Structure 1
Amino acid sequence: MITLDHNTAQRIVDRAMQVIGHSVNVMTPDGVIIASGDPLRVGELHHGARHVALRGESLAVDASNAEQFTGVRHGVNVPITVGQHIVAVVGISGEPAKVLQFADLVKVTAELMLEQTALLELGQHRRRQTEDTLLALINGRAVPQSWLDRIGFDLAQPRLALIIEPAQLPGPDDFVILLMRQLELSDKSLLLAQVAPQRLLVLAPIKPASTTALRSMTEQALSLLQSSLSANVHMAVVIAAGQYIEGSLQGCYESALATMASGRRESPHSSVHCYSDDPVTILWESLRPSWQQQELLRPLQTLRAHPRHLLYVRTLQAFFDANGDVKQCAAVLHLHRNTVRYRLKGVEQLTGLSPFRLPELLHLYLALKSDDLSTKQ
């Protein structure tokens, strides 16, 4: 049952008085005036309103019956009903013969405004329930089945986690609220939760795919989300799509977080970042390493001390980008293949890790990524 507050009641008074030109009062079913065209009457007890609430019928007060209702002025008082419950009484001041014609209009206006308020409150309550449930799940906590039932959340339905943030941080204070309203109206299948002051989590339903087609699930989720955003919003946000991890919403969410952090750092001008674009870097970032990072960086100490270390690093990076193909690497650097091999041999001599052995190449790759990460942070 809706609880009538002063602000809502005053909006009813202001709206009605603009239309009919007579003073209006809004009373609780107990007869307390909580909003009025005459501010001095707020807080007074209105015996006529109590009579209306008890009987469920309108009451006209004039010279013939005014003495029955202490302190009540001439006018018409009507019950306001929402969901078959009388939630308020509205009084229109004036001689009943003159103001009776406005009674139905004021009654309908008040009931519509209260129904809208009730719907908003219901929407806010459901939003809080959804957020509480999702926040528990992404933090690895078990939730009762009743929570899932209340928000219509089927754990068997695969979902991909996406994070939306303002392109420019910090963004507007109401960024998340406005974005949630737009998405709620556009697509009911999206589950939404505010996970930070300017960060919105979206869990988008997807169709399962094989492990070799995980990119297609990302494309499904991005397409669903982007079709729900207006063109002007597209230009003002950054979206990060995480990895689908079966049975783990926490993993899906954390992969999206790591994707956003990596994407903003590595490609600051891009508006969409996907885990599948650079999974090794994002995986390493999500580990938040400590001693592991120190151990990875140890072979680079000698390399950093060399006068030509930047030349070696650029060559090694180009070798990574060329997927270990010396010929392609040489073409990109405009060098002879032997020159590339000579430099890579120099890297091996300085670090003890050979770019021509896959496990050691992976070590070098992670070391440079980790070094780059620690430098930029």
Structure 2
Amino acid sequence: MIISKEFAQKVVDHLMGIVQHNVNIMDCSGIIIASGQFDRINTFHQGGKLAVDEQDVVEIYTDDVHNFCGALPGVMWPINLKEKIVGVVGVTGEPPEVRNTAKLVKTVTELFLEREMFLADYRLENWMKEQLVHVLFANNADTATDLAAMADMVHYRLDLPRVVILFNLEPKINDFATNSLQNLVSDRMRESVLKLIQEADSFHINDFSLFYKKNLCILKSATDSGSAGKIKSFTTSTIKRLQLIHHELNVRVGIGSMTAKPTEISHSYHEALFALSYQSPNTIRSISEYNILANYLFEHSCLGYDCLALRELKSRFEAMGTKYDMQQTLQCLLDNNLNVSLTAGKLYIHRNTLKFRLDKLKEFVGLEPCHYFYHAILCKAILNMSKINSNLNI
């Protein structure tokens, strides 16, 4: 790791406010890159170069200064990072007076550098994750030639079914301090959030989490989320963990549909995004909720091909088969403005027979078109989708 001059000067400025001695940081060639004595920056310090060459502490007394080019009395310690010397830190003063201070400064400087390196790795990893999900969410998974390589770099398994879950984190304006609000979008806060989530028992090794466009995004693997109940349980426990970071944090959640392949991830993401933005008093909102799904279809003028939730409803509808003549029954019911008596007459069946069929529709699909307007819209969407598929098969 090469220490930048800007970062080194920040470390020097911070440490000098604590130790009350001049602090220098030198690179491995002995050039001072940061100092409390600005006129010494970019000058050669022979003591610093000696500390690198000998890989050990160097102490310079007043009587020895003339033997060291560019030096003042002080103690120079090599800076070690992952068992490699990356520079030297020195504290100006007679060695007996600053010896312990210099060792402390060395330790603190190494901690600063370790932290900076960790954050750099974190930013790089998060950037690579963002590039991957950008491809997936933009519906480019079928055309991206390097998708497998991108996924492998961030340990993302493309072969697993997943569901996209979005968490929006917002402070309560009246109770949340301004500095906390600023920290909310900082790398450190995001790192804390991701660490907290990833340490949860319900977070599987194949789950994928990152911040994407200001929302916490989790691509939950099917290993842990094979049912709506498990997804909701995971989401509820995640909200509780997030609020451990700050109890005054507002958390809203949008859940998309389960995907079977990478090319469907973008659909699940847009469904989750719509559910997240849907005006509702509920904290957790899912595209599988019929009122949200119906509005999603309406606002997106969606015929069903790009809506995984509608496809799921249609598959449950088709699982009923032809036993109850449900397709004709529903079409007639909709054509007659959901009037049960009129529909039964048009179909030449008893009213109780029609009621039996509608009970089966509720049992298999969960829709009650005669009781809920949104259910009627979804029934119409399923029928339209079935007609389109029939025409395509001709």
Query: What TM-score do you get using the length of structure 2 for normalisation?
Result: 0.64
The reply on whether 1:150 has 2:162 as its aligned counterpart is: no
8 Å contact from structure 2 (residues 47, 71) kept in 1: yes
- State the match for 1:46 in structure 2: 45
- Tell me which residue corresponds to 1:162: 165
Relative to structure 2, which stretch is displaced further, 241-250 or 269-278? 269-278
- Would the aligned equivalents of 2:171 and 2:249 in 1 still touch at CA under 8 Å? no
Given the superposition, is the C-alpha separation of residues 175 and 18 from structure 1 closer, same or farther in structure 2, using an over 3 Å criterion?
A: closer
**CA shift for structure 1 position 57:** 2.3
**Distance apart, 1:169 and its partner CA:** 12
Q: CA deviation at 1:208?
A: 6.9
Give RMSD over aligned pairs.
3.9
> Is 1:90 matched up with 2:89?
yes
CA contact (8 A) 1:48 1:59 kept: yes
CA distance in 2, matches of 1:270, 1:6: 50
CA distance in 1, matches of 2:59, 2:15: 18
> Which residue identity lines up with residue 46 of structure 2 in the other structure?
H
Quick check: 1:204–1:225 contact (8 Å CA) kept in 2?
Answer: no
Question: Cα–Cα, structure 1 residues 117 and 29, in superposed 2: closer, same or farther, change >3 Å?
Answer: same
| 1:161 Cα offset (Å) | 0.8
Identify the residue that residue 24 of structure 2 maps to in structure 1: 25
CA distances 1:234-265 after superposition (whole Å, capped 9, x unpaired) = 7523211111121121221122123234x23x
Q: Pairwise mapping of residues 190-229 of structure 1 onto structure 2 (< 5 A)? A: 191-196=208-213, 198-207=214-223, 214-229=227-242
Identity fraction in percent: 22
- Write out per-residue CA displacement over residues 321-359 of structure 1, whole angstroms, 9 at most, x where no aligned residue: xx95879xxxxxxxxxxxxxxxxxxxxxxxxxxx99x9x
CA deviations over 1:277-298 (Å, ceiling 9, x no partner): 1223323434468xxxxxxxxx
Q: Which residue of 2 aligns with 1:277?
A: 289
Tell me the secondary structure at the aligned position of residue 152 of structure 1: coil
Q: Secondary structure at the match of 1:72?
A: coil
Cα distance in 2 for partners of 1:209, 1:50 equals 58
Question: Size of the alignment, in residue pairs?
Answer: 298
- Structure 1 contact 176–194 (Cα < 8 Å) conserved: no
Out of 194, 206, 210, the residue aligned to residue 184 of structure 1 is: 194
Match of 1:240 among 254, 257, 270: 254
Q: Which runs of 5+ in 2 are unaligned?
A: 304-332, 342-369, 382-394
Change (3 A) 1:362 1:144: closer
55-64 vs 110-119, which deviates more? 55-64
- Local SS of the residue matching 1:242: strand
Report the alpha carbon displacement of residue 89 of structure 1 after superposing the two structures with TM: 0.5
Aligned letter for 1:48?
G
2:74 corresponds to 1:71: no
Confirm or deny: 8 A CA contact 1:207 1:217 kept in the other structure: no
Distance 1:36-1:147 versus aligned 2 partners, 3 A rule: same
Amino acid at match of 1:184: L
